[in-house]
Structure 1
Amino acid sequence: MKFKHLPLLLLAISSTAEANLIDRGNGMIYDQDLNVTWLADVNYAKTSGYDADGAMDWQTANTWAADLTYGGYSDWRLPTTLTYNNGYNQISQELGHMFYTELGANSMAPIATRHNAANYGLFSNIQDYLYWSGTEYGDPNFAWYFGYPSGGYYPTSKSGQFYYAWAVRDGDVAVVPILPAVWLLGSGLLGLLSWKRRGNIR
């Protein structure tokens, strides 16, 4: 018996199992790359009635995220900025990673027309505008924001009223089960190898 198509089958199954974004249901999306969970509703501050349009100053946005209880979790926060260099293509940052790597957007292009359709479709109410980072700038009166129209990080006054808030939390929200297909494939392979070995013995 030939197993020439087996590597392709294994690759297909492993690729499906290792998708970077996983829809956990109940409005939460897990990012395996960063080990964080995002709200699927990108403007939940408006949807929940917390704010009329979801655009807030920095302190209000932080308070909203810190006080948020969703899906049984109360440790939500704003995305962080780990580097202090402004500019584009910073995929190591949470919002930059989501923008470039997961959503497949390009700098200086509307995300509504330039995106990865599969991942983009996991989320609702994505604003093609500005999003607060929870990280302060060197000047205590300023904080970082990420621009979805531009794809870049910049500092701005914390009092700015035109910035949206996207809640995220560390870790997963569910234990990932062993995929039945993978388990069945492994069991089948063991059975075939055992059968072939018995045939060789005879």
Structure 2
Amino acid sequence: MRFIKFGAMCIGILLATLTAVNAALVTRLGGQAIYDTDLNVTWLADSNLAASNSFGVAGINPAAGGYAAGSMTWFTAQDWLSAMNTSDGGAGYLGFSDWRLPATVQPDASCSIQAPSGASYGYNCKGSEMGHLFYVEENGVANGSGLFSNVQGTYWSDTWSINPQYAWHFDGFQNTDSKDNSYYVRVARSGDIAAVPVPAALWLFGSGLLGLVSMARGSRQRVG
């Protein structure tokens, strides 16, 4: 009987581990990055890296009027990301050279406002990367997951508006604004950055547990 209980305990541990891995937000690089398994997108955990690392780019605003340092125009954001992706001798920040601004899907049927022009804006926009993170993964609460740091108010998107002088931004409300205005930069990249596929490691872990259970049962039968 105790071997059956041991086996049940092992299976319980395995299932609990699988549940954690299948969660939509998974930490990477010791917590420096967060992988969204739903969208296959990796976020930097530091949601205002520009406040502490300019990568030599001018035009990043200092703290002022109660606002944190790190905001910048859309154009400066592009320059900053380019410098970020060529840092560390060309290897890029944390070893990756394809960091970018988040994308905004247009049109997006989930948005609260659908304009005659075909633009989708307003609240509850879950189709965009930032909207999905905010409304789906974090239940409409800034840093509701507790996995991010230095979360700010409004962030630039990489996606232009119908007017190319404007780009999308997000702060819970999705809208457009002139690229010359200053907002914060939340960094993303497409895909995962895990060095070893976690499901394979879990398979080995589970196989080992089941092997131990089998050995224990065999030993019990021989002794009896």
Class of the TM-score when normalised by the shorter of the 2 chains? 0.7 to 0.9
Query: Does residue 174 in structure 1 map to residue 194 in structure 2?
Result: yes
Partner of 2:103: 80
Q: Quote the Cα distance in structure 2 between the aligned partners of 1:4 and 1:25.
A: 31
Aligned amino acid, residue 88 of structure 1: Y
- Identify, as 1 or 2, the structure richer in helix: 2
Aligned length: 186
Find the counterpart in structure 2 of residue 54 from structure 1. 70
Greater mean deviation of Cα atoms: 44-53 or 24-33: 24-33
Q: 1:73 to 1:138 in 2, by over 3 A?
A: same
Q: Deviations over 1:4-24 (max 9, x none)?
A: 666644431211222322232
Corresponding residue for residue 139 of structure 1: 163
Equivalent of 2:79 in 58, 63, 67? 63
User: Following the alignment from structure 1 to structure 2, what is the Cα–Cα distance between the partners of residues 159 and 99?
Assistant: 25
Q: What does the per-residue CA deviation read over 1:38-57, in whole Å, with 9 as the maximum and x for residues that have no partner? A: 11211111111342321111
> Any stretches of 5+ residues in structure 1 without a counterpart?
none
Distance across 2 between alignment mates of 1:35 and 1:57:
27
**TM-score, normalization by structure 2:** 0.70
Code of the residue aligned with 1:133 in structure 2: it is S
Task: Judge which range, 182-191 or 36-45, deviates more.
Answer: 182-191
In structure 2, give the amino acid aligned to 1:131: Y
1:153 aligns with 2:157: no
User: CA-atom RMSD, angstroms?
Assistant: 2.9
SS in 2 for 1:55: coil
Give the secondary structure class of the aligned counterpart of 2:18. helix
Question: Partners in 2 of 1:87 and 1:152 — Cα distance?
Answer: 5
Residues 43 and 189, structure 2, Cα contact 8 Å, conserved in 1:
yes
Shift of 1:190: 4.1
Shift of 1:184: 3.6
How far apart are 1:170 and its partner, in Å?
1.3
Q: How does 1:1-202 map to 2 (within 5 A)?
A: 1=1, 2=4, 8-19=12-23, 20-25=25-30, 27-49=32-54, 50=57, 51=60, 52=62, 53-69=69-85, 70-84=93-107, 85-106=120-141, 111=142, 116=144, 119-120=145-146, 122-127=147-152, 129-147=153-171, 151-161=172-182, 163-178=183-198, 183-190=204-211, 192-193=213-214
Give the gaps of 5 or more residues in structure 2.
63-68, 86-92, 108-119
Say if 1:157 and 1:34 are closer, same or farther in 2 by CA, change over 3 A.
same
Letter in 2 for 1:92: G
Give the percent of matched residue pairs that are identical in Structure 1 and Structure 2: 38
The amino acid across from 1:37 in the alignment is T
Moved over 6 A (4+): none
TM-fit CA distance, 1:191: 5.1
1:92 to partner: Cα distance: 2.7
Bigger Rg, structure 1 or 2: 2
Q: 1:169 to 1:181 in 2, by over 3 A?
A: closer
| Cα pair distance change 1:181/1:134, threshold 3 Å | closer
